[in-house]
Amino acid sequence: ELAALTAQQFQSGLLAGKKVVITAGPTREAIDPVRYISNHSSGKMGYALAEAAAEAGATTILISGPTQLATPDRVQRLDVTSAQEMYDATMASLEGCDLFIASAAVADYRPAQLAEQKIKKTGQDTMTIELVKNPDIVTAVAASQPKPYTVGFAAETQDVVSYARGKLERKKLDLVIANDVSQAGIGFNSDRNAVTLVWPTDEETLAENSKTQLARDLIARISAKIT
């Protein structure tokens, strides 16, 4: 309790007067009215970042895919389902945005056709789903004018840091937070995480910690860059 209070006092005001937009959770891409493609993101890291940003005094908008999480205090939450909806909500939230953090696990592809009725099982032993690419939200934000400080995530199962650096450069991001989701006990659906911050000119690893504490540390580091 004392530690929490101290952390809060430490962070208080770091982002006063700033507007922060954060995406969180998975997206769901409908195949038909009952089936969908999704992923194992719980949204916990994004919600923790939103909480830490609000603690730091930012006006904080959390654009969330389907999760089981409670909205943090003083955070304005917009619920979306698909990647396209998340893209639209993000673009509509960018005015005056100082910091954008893309922590959602957005589906890269969605089914090319959305069946209006539940697809019936056929006699066939195989079936094919055709997918088309979704809009790339973090790339679109990084290309917007004026550009907010734009932070991406790289949740990978191998070569995490080198992939993160490639993403940073390819998408013209300001920071990529890399985490290895193949490690047991951290990442997706866990309350703990360990990440490597990949900036344009250096890297920094934050040891395993609760997502709450890690989020405060991340917000403190990012605040130092944008204020």
Q: Which residues bind its own copies (CB under 8 A)?
A: 31, 33-41, 68, 105, 107-109, 112, 117-118, 121, 124-133, 155-158, 181-182, 188
Residue 193 designated active-site:
no
User: For residue 109, how many other CB atoms are within 10 A of its CB?
Assistant: 14
Which entry of 39, 134, 179, 209 is annotated as an active-site residue? 39
Q: In terms of CB distance, is 95 or 130 closer to its own copies? A: 130
Which residue, 108 or 203, has its beta carbon nearer to its own copies?
Answer: 108
- DSSP 8-state code for residue 48: H
Spatial separation of the C-alpha atoms in residues 207 and 193, rounded to whole Å: 8
User: Please, what is the minimum distance in Å from the beta carbon of residue 48 to its own copies?
Assistant: 19
Q: Supply angle C-alpha 165, 171, 172, rounded to 5.
A: 85
Question: Can you tell me the distance from the alpha carbon of 22 to that of 61, in angstroms, rounded to the nearest whole number?
Answer: 6
Tokens coding 85: 């909806």
CA distance 153 to 174: 11
Residue 225 CB partners (closer than 8 Å, separation 6+): 149, 174, 175
Give ∠ CA 96-16-9 in degrees, rounded to 5.
155
Q: How far is the CB of 50 from its own copies (least distance, A)?
A: 21
- For residue 115, how many other CB atoms are within 10 A of its CB? 14
CA atoms within 13 A on the CB side of 133: 3
- Cα 111 to Cα 207: distance, rounded to the nearest angstrom: 38
Question: Measured from the CB of residue 55, what is the shortest distance to its own copies in angstroms?
Answer: 28
Rounded to a whole number of angstroms, the minimum distance from the CB of residue 163 to its own copies is: 8
CB of 126: closest distance to its own copies in angstroms? Answer: 5
Q: Catalytic amino acids?
A: 39
